[in-house]
Amino acid sequence: MDIEGIEFTFHHIGLACRSLLPEIKTHERLGYAREGATFHDPIQQINGVFMAHGPVRIELIEPAGEHSPVRNILEKGIKMYHQCFAVDDLEHTISALEADGARLITGPVPAVAFGGRKIAFLMLRTMLIVELVEK
């Protein structure tokens, strides 16, 4: 993806799940390995863990509370729901994507999974949800 010279570095695909443990076990049987410990993000109201299989990285995410947005995603029957890209200038990238027809869903907010670096979620005109994380 290249909008106005912005470099989008692929980071992961986000998978919604009702419970992390069975998903972790299933993905380990498929050859994935955990990348770090399970984390809790009170702002996003999620628990998550990153897993990798060669160059492919996924983030398994479960709701952590009644008002977690992941509950809505799961109720719609959606499992794979976002792609994440690291960007140099989060605010500029958000503005460029909005000018291209994207809608800001969440953020920018600090994220536990990224050591407090800010993230934002946007829905593109094609209905693809992207997460941006500042480098």
What distance in Å separates the CA atoms of residue 135 and residue 47, rounded to the nearest whole number? 22
CATH code at position 48: 3.10.180.10
Q: Is residue 15 part of a domain?
A: yes
Map residue 16 onto helix, strand or coil.
strand
How does pLDDT run across 13-26, given as a tens digit for each residue?
A: 999 999 999 999 99
How does pLDDT run across 83-94, given as a tens digit for each residue?
A: 999 999 999 999
Q: Which residue range is the domain that position 42 belongs to? A: 9-134
Mean predicted lDDT score pLDDT of the chain: 95
Q: Is residue 4 part of a domain?
A: no
Q: Is residue 3 part of a domain?
A: no
Provide the whole-model pTM.
0.90
Listed in sequence order, the residues at least 6 apart from 64 whose beta carbon sits closer than 8 Å to its beta carbon are 40, 41, 42, 45, 46, 47
How does pLDDT run across 54-107, given as a tens digit for each residue?
A: 999 999 999 998 899 999 999 999 999 999 999 999 999 999 999 999 999 998
- Token pair for residue 48? 């998550």
| Total domain count, the chain | 1
Q: Is residue 127 part of a domain?
A: yes
